[in-house]
């Protein structure tokens, strides 16, 4: 199809809205998608370690982005443990074939048990001993979800299995590949699909801050919060039934320490987001999630919190 | 000459599962099912604030994402002696109902249909439907390996029958994301609805929210009645032999659930050796003879003779099946019986009966959800707040429901800290290994299954296992 420049740019904006949501990366992708004939689209392999599949389920739900659009227009989804039609030996063969056939991106879900390696077995060997071989063939690696990025729940409390996040795992196994982290419990679909689409379109890794794409995690939730005015005026929620619009800070809201665009990106077709449902942010994107202190804090335990100083300052 | 066939990893399920079978003369003569992943969820919760369980226990599984939230909150409400008002219970049932139905769509289309339908028939399409044409184009040009690589076996190859189901495979994903938005509107987001707290639901419910929910419900109803139920019947008609394959012990267990309007939608109880009994928790015992746990219940991956991370719960020493089929049979559901009679199929445990039971259950749930919407009362409270700072001691149990079966969460707390947390999860009942000298439920139903199409893989075993909708992350946690 022939296009003039104007049509082309219009097209890019459309694609950008379609895949990234709200034209996040419009300018950067201007070149990218023209190259993408169907058979050249990069391949995608998903692999799951100590995970709950929540991130994959979230991806299929979509938000601004649509999963079917994503797999039919942006990438070639080749292997996914919950979607692949094959099983057992045939499934292993398809991983082999795809990973040897050309560049692919590897999306990792879940943490890897390093202490008790038997706690995650894949094709009769510990995931710990298998995963790095696949990683070494990948063009880039995406850590999808808080468990893969920071260890998350499996690495919390007593960390019975010695669970480690993907970056630690890569260091231990000597895997030197570009890594992008998409934290969230679960991931917001836009952030995973959008980031992958960005890499596909531009051939570049998006600007990262602490390994995380800056555009999706630009500022503290607190600073973008729809209830910021309530906070400014000191209207706090004491009772979830009676107050429906007040600041949830004193119920333990982790918005003041969590970097994310949740308040504007929203969830599930943009219908809602935690704070709007009158329930505090629990910081599921935070690197310390699920935290050592109680998720819904009682006021007297504020002093134990990692953000106690900030809170004191805010209350001054 | 017997042959060993191991299927690992088993795909299109939640989590990591391995099935080892001994095949002799084209039939399975022995079987071992192993849950292959362990995290230690119950340990993560020890010493934490009790209310944290509502958020952390919920994250045991991202497929059945709302059910654990509700079960743990029910346990917490008993611990804090702080039940939810009626509106809160209605909202939770609305979330659960929508979740269950759309989870059944996931189970049938995304996870099971690829075992029964030949997707490559799409390449033979010659009509004008633009949706199907773009799918055809997609398969032909990008050659998606996740679709094209499949197991050897017998499939529905009639082009028009196959295409109808293939189109619904994609439609199901869209309806599911719509269902998720209905859940999110009440519960904040999906997966993992944060508005579910002990005492009720925090969301400010406005009429427009319920109208949106109603719109979602209509779409889900249309899909259920026009696509899902007919497609299940089509598959059942093409594979009638599966009404006799995959038969468990025919012992069933279901919890009494969906009772926010008074009478429960699903009756609870146990069907043991043909006799119906009232369920009593004292008769439940978890065995770990063949599981990787030592006598104290702590993980021991090197344990001799063990082959699974899943434990083996038994009721009065017997292995009982849970899930939609158990709910339909314990309930004596007339619509389910009618569907089975239409198929001239016996009302008993079988691979296909489990699919039909899900279809029947969706229909039943839908009717109930319209009633729930009508029963919500504006202006009445949705939550009785728990005082989080109370240093609570005691215990609580939550009996609830997951798409895959009966669900129990138990919490014990001392002085405002969790001392013990225990989950007895549907897939544990079904997928537990040998325990108390008896094979697990699914193991039993694989024994005797035919293996006809491959010497190193078995589509038949895959079909039987998937009919249970395994969730290994839940079952091991």
Instruction: Spell out the domain ranges in chain A.
Output: 5-213, 221-315
Nearest residue to B395 (alpha-carbon basis) of B159, B81, B43: B81
Asked if B303 has any chain A CB less than 8 Å from its own CB, the reply is no
β-bridge pairing B312-315 and A179-182: unpaired
Name residues whose C-beta falls within 8 Å of residue A162's C-beta, 6 or more positions apart in sequence.
A113, A114, A115, A116
Q: In chain B, which among 258-287 make CB contacts under 8 A with chain A?
A: none
Residue A66 with chain B: CB contacts under 8 Å:
177
Which of chain B's residues have a Cβ under 8 Å away from the Cβ of A80?
Answer: 146
Mind telling me how many Å the CA of B263 is from chain A's nearest CA?
Answer: 26
Q: Domain A221-315 belongs to what architecture?
A: Irregular (4.10)
A221-315 matches A5-213 in CATH topology: no
- Looking at CATH, the fold of the domain delimited by A5-213 is given as Rossmann fold (3.40.50)
Least-confidence region, from A119-133, A222-236, A290-304:
A290-304
How far is Cα B283 from Cα A129, in angstroms, rounded to an integer? 42
Going by C-alpha positions, the residue among B405, B410, B422 that lies closest to residue B319 is B405
Place of tokens 């699914």: B442
Burial bucket for residue B367 (CB in 10 Å: 0-12, 13-18, 19+): exposed
Closest chain B C-alpha to A100 CA, distance in angstroms: 13
Distances (CA, A) of A279 to A276, B185, B186: 7, 13, 11
C-alpha–C-alpha distance, residues A20 and B16, integer Å: 31
What does B101-162 look like in DSSP terms, one character per residue?
Answer: HHHHHIIIIIIIGGGTB-GGGGGG--S--HHHHHHHHHHHHH--HHHHS--SS--B--HHHH
What angle do the packed helices B86-105 and B351-375 form, to 10 degrees?
Answer: 150
Are A272 and B184 a contacting pair at CB < 8 A? Answer: yes
Rounded mean pLDDT, B119-144 = 91
HSE, CB side, 13 Å, CA atoms: give it for residue A300: 4
| Contact in structure between B235 and B114 (CB atoms under 8 Å) | no
Whole-angstrom CA distances from B463 to B10, B39, B112 are: 11, 27, 7
Q: Per DSSP, which regions of B296-416 are E strands?
A: 312-315, 394-402, 405-414
pLDDT at A259: 93
Residue A20 scores a pLDDT above 60: no
Q: Check residue A24 and give its pLDDT.
A: 52
Alpha carbon distance B428, B467 (integer Å): 15
Q: Which of B39, B142, B183 lies at the smallest CB-CB distance from A38?
A: B142
pLDDT > 60? residue A21: no
Do the chains contact at B188 and A274, CB–CB below 8 Å? yes
Whether residues A67 and B46 touch (CB distance < 8 A) is answered with no
Closest Cβ opposite residue B62 in set A55, A87, A123: A55
State whether residue A161 sits within 8 Å of chain B by CB.
Answer: yes
- CB contact under 8 Å between B65 and A240, yes or no, is no
Distance from CA of A316 to the nearest CA of B (A): 24
| Interface touch B36/A67, C-beta < 8 Å | no
Question: CA B144, CA B12: separation in Å to the nearest integer?
Answer: 16
Residue A5 vs residue B319, higher pLDDT = B319
Helix residue spans in B239-323 (DSSP H): none
With H, G, I as helix, E, B as strand and everything else as coil, classify residue A105: strand
Alpha carbon B407 to its chain centroid, in Å, reads 10
pLDDT (tens digit, 9 = 90+) per residue, A95-133?
A: 999 999 988 999 999 999 999 999 999 999 999 999 999
Half-sphere exposure (Cβ direction) of B400: Cα atoms closer than 13 Å: 29
* pLDDT exceeds 70 at position A307: no
Contact B60 A52 (CB under 8 A): yes
pLDDT surpasses 80 at B174: yes
| Residue A305's pLDDT band (cuts 50, 70, 90) | very low
Omega of the bond leading into A290 within 30 degrees of 0 (cis): yes
The C-alpha angle with vertex B417 and arms to B411 and B419, in degrees rounded to 5, equals: 50
For the record, the structure tokens of A16 come out as: 């950008």
**Cis preceding-peptide flag for B191 (omega within 30 of 0):** yes
* Contact predicate B360/B100, CB 8 Å: no
Interchain pair A124, B173: CB under 8 A: no
Interface of A with B in 258-297 (CB under 8 A): 267-269, 271-274, 276-279, 282, 284, 290, 294-297
Cβ–Cβ under 8 Å, residues A258 and A285? yes
For B129, other C-beta atoms within 10 Å of its C-beta total 12
Q: What are phi and psi of A131, to 5 degrees?
A: -55, -40
* pLDDT in the model for residue A316: 36
| pLDDT tens-digit map of A230-282 | 988 989 898 999 999 999 988 889 898 899 999 999 999 999 999 999 999 99
**Would you call A90 an interface residue with chain B, using a CB distance cutoff of 8 Å?**
yes
> Cα(first)–Cα(last) distance of chain B, in Å?
38
Q: Touching check for A78 and chain B: CB below 8 Å?
A: yes
Residue B9: cis peptide before it, omega within 30 degrees of 0: yes
CA A210-A216-A218 angle, 5° bins:
70
Percent above pLDDT 90 for chain B: 92
Tokens standing for residue B271: 């069907």
Which residue in A has a C-alpha nearest to residue B181's C-alpha?
Answer: A268
Express each pLDDT in A45-60 by its tens digit.
999 999 999 999 999 9
B178 touches chain A (CB under 8 A): yes
Q: At what angle do helices B351-375 and B334-342 cross, to 10 degrees?
A: 140
ω into B444 cis (within 30 of 0): no
Q: Tokens for A294? A: 């109680």
| Cβ-proximal residues to B95 (8 Å cutoff; 6+ apart), any chain | B66, B70, B183, B186, B187, B193, B196
Inform me whether the pLDDT recorded for A313 exceeds 60.
Answer: no
CB half-sphere exposure, B405, CA atoms < 13 A: 27
Distance from CA of B24 to the nearest CA of A (A): 20
Task: Compute the residue count for chain B.
Answer: 477
d(CA B254, CA B274): 15
Strand partners, A179: A141
Nearest to A241 among B184, B189, B385 (CB): B385
Of A83-87, B68-72, B121-125, B453-457, the poorest mean pLDDT is in B453-457
Is the CB of B149 less than 8 angstroms away from the CB of A80? Answer: no
A87 touches chain B (CB under 8 A): yes
Of B240, B217, B38, B262, the closest CA to residue A49 belongs to: B38
Task: Please give the span between the terminal C-alpha atoms of chain A, in angstroms, as a whole number.
Answer: 62
| Contact with chain A for residue B147, Cβ under 8 A | yes
Residue of A nearest to B52 (CA): A295
Q: How far is CA B360 from CA B92, B328, B356, in A?
A: 21, 8, 6
Query: Does residue A95 sit at the B interface (CB-CB below 8 Å)?
Result: no
Tell me how close the Cα of B181 comes to any Cα of chain A, in angstroms: 5
Q: How confident is the model at residue A314 (pLDDT cuts 50, 70, 90)?
A: very low
Q: Does the distance separating the beta carbons of A186 and B388 come in below 8 Å?
A: no
Residue of A nearest to B298 (CA): A160
Distance, CA of B300 to CA of B178 (rounded, Å): 43
Bigger pLDDT: A134 or A22?
A134
**The tokens of B263 are what?**
């009478």
Tokens standing for B439? 């094979």
Q: In what order do the strands lie in the sheet with B405-414?
A: B394-402, B405-414, B417-424
Closest-CA residue to B393 (of B57, B69, B50) = B50
């Amino acid at each position: 199809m022939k296009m003039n420049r104007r049509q082309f740019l219009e097209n890019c904006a459309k694609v950008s809205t379609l895949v990234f949501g709200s034209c996040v990366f419009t300018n950067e992708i201007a070149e990218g998608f023209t190259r993408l004939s169907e058979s050249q689209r990069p391949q995608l392999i998903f692999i799951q370690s100590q995970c709950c599949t929540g991130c994959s389920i979230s991806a299929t739900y979509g938000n601004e982005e649509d999963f079917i659009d994503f797999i039919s227009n942006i990438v070639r989804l080749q292997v996914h443990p919950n979607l692949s039609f094959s099983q057992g030996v045939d499934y292993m063969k398809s991983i082999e074939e795809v990973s040897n056939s050309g560049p692919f991106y590897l999306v990792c879900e879940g943490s890897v048990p390093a202490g008790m390696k038997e706690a995650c077995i894949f094709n009769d060997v510990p995931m710990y001993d298998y995963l790095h071989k696949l990683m070494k063939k990948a063009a880039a690696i995406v850590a999808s979800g808080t468990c893969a990025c920071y260890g998350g729940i499996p690495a919390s409390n007593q960390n019975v299995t010695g669970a480690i996040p993907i970056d630690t795992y890569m260091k231990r196994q000597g895997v030197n590949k570009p890594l992008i982290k998409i934290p969230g419990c679960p991931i917001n679909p836009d952030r995973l699909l959008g980031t992958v689409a960005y890499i596909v379109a531009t051939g570049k890794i998006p600007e990262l801050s602490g390994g995380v794409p800056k555009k999706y995690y630009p500022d503290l939730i607190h600073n973008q919060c729809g209830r910021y005015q309530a906070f400014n005026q000191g209207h706090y929620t004491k009772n979830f039934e009676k107050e429906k619009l007040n600041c949830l800070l004193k119920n333990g809201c982790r918005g003041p320490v969590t970097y994310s665009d949740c308040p504007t990106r929203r969830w599930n077709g943009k219908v809602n987001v935690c704070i709007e449902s009158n329930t505090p942010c629990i910081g599921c994107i935070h690197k310390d999630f699920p935290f050592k202190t109680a998720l819904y804090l009682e006021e007297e335990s504020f002093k134990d919190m990692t953000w106690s100083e900030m809170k004191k300052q805010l209350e001054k | 000459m017997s042959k060993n066939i191991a299927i690992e990893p088993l795909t299109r399920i939640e989590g990591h599962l391995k099935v080892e079978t001994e095949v002799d003369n084209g039939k399975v003569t022995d079987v071992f099912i192993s849950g292959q992943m362990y995290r230690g969820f119950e340990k993560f919760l020890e010493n934490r604030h009790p209310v944290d369980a509502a958020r952390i226990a919920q994250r045991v599984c991202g497929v059945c994402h709302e059910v654990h939230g509700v079960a743990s909150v029910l346990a917490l409400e008993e611990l804090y002696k702080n039940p939810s008002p009626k509106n809160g219970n209605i909202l939770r049932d609305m979330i659960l109902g929508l979740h269950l139905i759309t989870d059944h769509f996931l189970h049938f289309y995304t996870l099971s249909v690829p075992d029964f339908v030949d997707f490559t028939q799409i390449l033979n399409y010659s009509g004008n439907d633009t949706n199907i044409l773009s799918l055809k184009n997609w398969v032909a040009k990008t050659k998606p390996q996740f679709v094209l690589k499949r197991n050897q076996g017998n499939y529905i190859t009639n082009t028009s029958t196959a295409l109808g189901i293939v189109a619904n495979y994609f439609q199901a994903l869209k309806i599911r994301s719509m269902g998720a938005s209905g859940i999110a509107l009440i519960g904040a987001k999906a997966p993992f609805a944060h508005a579910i707290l002990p005492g009720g639901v925090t969301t400010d419910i406005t009429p427009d929210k319920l109208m949106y929910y109603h719109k979602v419900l209509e779409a889900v109803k249309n899909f259920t009645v026009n696509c899902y139920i007919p497609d299940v019947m089509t598959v059942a008609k093409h594979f009638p032999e599966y009404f006799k394959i995959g038969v468990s012990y025919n012992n069933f267990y279901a919890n009494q659930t969906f009772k926010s309007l008074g009478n429960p939608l699903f009756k609870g109880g146990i069907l043991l050796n043909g006799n119906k009994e009232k369920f009593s928790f004292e008769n439940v015992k978890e065995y770990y003879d063949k599981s990787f746990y030592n006598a104290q219940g702590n993980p021991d991956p090197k344990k001799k003779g063990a082959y699974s991370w899943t434990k083996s719960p038994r009721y009065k020493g017997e292995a009982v099946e849970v899930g939609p089929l158990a709910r339909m049979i314990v309930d004596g559901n007339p619509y389910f019986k009618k569907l089975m009679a239409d198929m001239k199929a016996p009302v008993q445990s079988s691979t296909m009966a489990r699919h039909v039971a899900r279809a029947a259950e969706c229909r039943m749930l839908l009717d109930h959800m319209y009633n729930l919407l009508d029963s919500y009362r504006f202006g009445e409270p949705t939550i009785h707040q728990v005082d989080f700072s109370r240093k609570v001691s005691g215990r609580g149990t939550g009996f609830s429901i997951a798409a895959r079966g009966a669900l129990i969460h138990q919490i014990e707390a001392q002085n405002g800290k969790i001392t013990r947390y225990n989950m007895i999860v549907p897939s544990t009942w079904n997928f537990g290994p040998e325990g108390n000298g008896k094979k697990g439920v699914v193991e039993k139903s694989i024994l005797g299954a035919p293996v006809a199409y491959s010497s190193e893989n078995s589509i038949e075993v895959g079909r039987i296992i998937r009919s249970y909708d395994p969730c290994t992350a839940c079952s091991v946690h």
